[in-house]
Amino acid sequence: MSKLLTLMLLAGGLSAGVSYTQAQSQPNFAQVVALDECDPATVNTATGAGPDFCKNVALGASTTLQDLLAKAAAGTPDPKWDFEPDSLTIKQGQVISVVDQGGEPHTFTEVKQFGGGFIPGLNGPGESVVPECAGGFSALAVAKTRILQGSQLEVIGLSKGKHLFQCCIHPWMRIEVDVK
Ligand SMILES: [Cu+2]
């Protein structure tokens, strides 16, 4: 085993960042990354979510909860909460691997139409919760699409055509997947 490969494998056990490298070495995988810049001091305290909801994985991540809510309400949500890439074309049979490299949980939920999530304060003006996100994590269908920090979710078996995915918490995190 080469030194480089050993290093990669070691890092893979420690850092979600290496998933990208692993995905590249597996042509049947298409990688999506979920990102955010949550600020633990305000998010965990103000929401009562507890110390483990927002973990500050990005040095300098400092968007306060107040800023995040204000921007969402104004219809100009914080672009640092994001799925990358914004659109993806895959071949039928390819696996989408979504890794959460942000500081808080997200969901990767397929929806018929983009819309609001299950936390009204994070929705844009006039946006209401889409049916696929309704009920939040108490709904099994939503909970199954949750991705915790540093973990990943694989999506398999998509039919040919366009598929829309969004986060049910931060509904401006959106991606269009085109299956050829
Ligand atoms: Cu999210």
The token duo for 116 is 């609001």
Ligand 1 mean position to 14 CA, how many Å? 23
Ion ligand 1 contact residues with beta carbon within 5 A: 106, 167, 169-170, 173
User: What is the rounded CA–CA span in Å between residue 159 and residue 27?
Assistant: 19
- Check pLDDT > 50 for residue 4: no
* pLDDT tens column, 26-79: 678 999 999 999 888 888 887 777 888 888 666 677 788 899 999 999 999 999
Ligand 1 mean position to 1 CA, how many Å? 38
- Check pLDDT > 80 for residue 7: no
Beta-carbon contacts of 32 under 8 Å, excluding residues fewer than 6 positions away, are: 83, 84, 85, 88, 96, 97, 98, 99, 108, 175
Instruction: Report pLDDT for 49.
Output: 78
Give pTM, 2 decimals. Answer: 0.83
- Check pLDDT > 60 for residue 17: no
Ligand 1 mean position to 5 CA, how many Å? 32
Mean pLDDT of 160-175: 98
Ligand 1 mean position to 92 CA, how many Å? 26
Share of the chain above pLDDT 70, in %: 83
Tell me whether residue 60 is in a domain: no
**For position 130, which CATH number holds?**
2.60.40.420
Beta-carbon contacts of 35 under 8 Å, excluding residues fewer than 6 positions away, are: 80, 81, 82, 83, 84, 101, 102
Share of the chain above pLDDT 90, in %: 68
Tell me whether residue 46 is in a domain: no
- Check pLDDT > 70 for residue 11: no
Tell me whether residue 145 is in a domain: yes
Tell me whether residue 163 is in a domain: yes
Instruction: Report pLDDT for 61.
Output: 73
- Check pLDDT > 90 for residue 14: no
Strand partners, 152: 99
Ligand 1 mean position to 171 CA, how many Å? 7
Tell me whether residue 45 is in a domain: no
Instruction: Report pLDDT for 58.
Output: 61
- Count of domains in the chain? 1
Domain limits for position 142: 17-35+81-179
Ligand 1 mean position to 59 CA, how many Å? 19
Tell me whether residue 90 is in a domain: yes
Rg (CA), the chain: 17
Residue 29 C-alpha from the chain's centroid: 17
Ligand 1 mean position to 44 CA, how many Å? 15
CA atoms within 13 A on the CB side of 53: 15
Tell me whether residue 70 is in a domain: no
In 40-127, which residue ranges form alpha helices assigned H by DSSP? 40-46, 65-73
User: What is the rounded CA–CA span in Å between residue 43 and residue 48?
Assistant: 8
Ligand 1 mean position to 144 CA, how many Å? 14
Ligand 1 mean position to 82 CA, how many Å? 8
Tell me whether residue 5 is in a domain: no
Ligand 1 mean position to 170 CA, how many Å? 4
Mean pLDDT of 118-144: 96
Q: Which residue has the higher pLDDT, 48 or 7?
A: 48
